[in-house]
Amino acid sequence: MPKTTQLRTYTVREGRLDEWVERWRAEIMPLRLKLGFTVDGAWVDRERNQFVWLIRRRMRSADHHSRGRSYRGRGPYVEGGRACVGSEII
């Protein structure tokens, strides 16, 4: 089964980047790991208020989309102040 990797970029509200990173570490990353994903890296771009990370899993591309829909419906961070400016399977 092929590996599917996403490069995810989030633009975070001004002044909330550190809060976002804490929440990602405490809630989002552990949930992704529990669901069988691997986090290959995460970076902060303070000039643009952006958080960028690479996430990977062995699965078919179609399965990746359905798992993403399932994941987005979990946890309190769904209602948070984040906006995804780019999420693309390549």
What is the span of the domain harbouring residue 34? 3-89
pTM of the model: 0.65
For residue range 25-68, list pLDDT tens digits in order.
999 999 999 999 999 999 999 999 999 999 999 876 566 556 55
- The pLDDT, as a whole number, for residue 50 is 93
The residues, any chain, with a CB within 8 Å of residue 64's CB and separated by 6 or more, are 4, 6, 57, 89
Q: How many domains does the chain have?
A: 1
How confident is the prediction for the chain on average, in pLDDT?
77
